[in-house]
């Protein structure tokens, strides 16, 4: 694949990833009863939704921006921790296969975005 193709694929994957996380973050900032029930099932306090919501909104902005490389890398790391933690939480609480796999799908998309970002050359030190 040429550099232009890689760049187009990177932006397509990354924009979709960020839109999904932005929507998730906004939903966590204004939780419904189902979200509160899931947090209770997992044993987490409901205020964690507010923290995750803010982190996902800020992380989405950090991943999509092109100026601050280190902030972008930290955002990628934060999303990875979120998805691994979500998957582990579902595993330890009720071993729900869908609950375990769903965050790992997002983790795979995250890794694809990160790898493509590195391939575009934007992720290299100057």
Distance, in Å, from the CA atom of 47 to the CA atom of 36, rounded to the nearest integer, reads 9
Query: What is the pLDDT of the chain when averaged over all its residues?
Result: 93
Q: What is the pTM for the complete model shown?
A: 0.90
Specify whether the CB–CB gap between 63 and 75 falls below 8 A: yes
Could you tell me the two tokens for 80? Answer: 């990875």
pLDDT at 49: 96
pLDDT at 69: 94
pLDDT at 125: 66
Specify whether the CB–CB gap between 14 and 113 falls below 8 A: yes
**In the structure, what pLDDT confidence band is assigned to residue 65 with cuts at 50, 70 and 90?**
very high
pLDDT at 124: 67
Q: Is the dihedral of CA 58, 90, 28, 110 positive or negative?
A: positive
Distance, in Å, from the CA atom of 15 to the CA atom of 44, rounded to the nearest integer, reads 30
pLDDT digits (tens, 9 = 90+) for 79-126: 999 999 999 998 999 877 877 899 999 999 999 999 999 999 776 665
What backbone torsions phi and psi does residue 68 show, to the nearest 5 degrees? -105, 95
Tell me which residue has tokens 């397509």. 12
Residue 66 predicted with pLDDT over 60:
yes
Query: What letter does residue 67 receive in the DSSP assignment?
Result: S
H or E segment at 105?
helix 97-120
pLDDT digits (tens, 9 = 90+) for 34-43: 999 999 999 9
pLDDT at 123: 63
């Amino acid at each position: 694949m040429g550099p232009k193709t890689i760049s187009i694929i990177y932006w397509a994957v990354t924009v979709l990833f960020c839109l999904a996380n932005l929507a998730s973050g906004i939903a966590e900032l204004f939780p419904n009863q189902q979200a509160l029930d899931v947090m209770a099932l997992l044993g987490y306090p409901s205020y964690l939704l507010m923290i995750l919501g803010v982190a996902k909104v800020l992380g989405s902005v950090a991943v999509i921006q092109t100026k601050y490389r280190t902030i972008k890398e930290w955002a990628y790391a934060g999303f990875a921790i979120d998805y691994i933690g979500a998957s582990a939480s579902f595993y330890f609480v009720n071993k729900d296969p869908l609950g375990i796999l769903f965050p790992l799908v997002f983790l795979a998309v995250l890794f694809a975005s990160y790898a493509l970002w590195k391939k575009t050359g934007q992720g290299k030190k100057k």
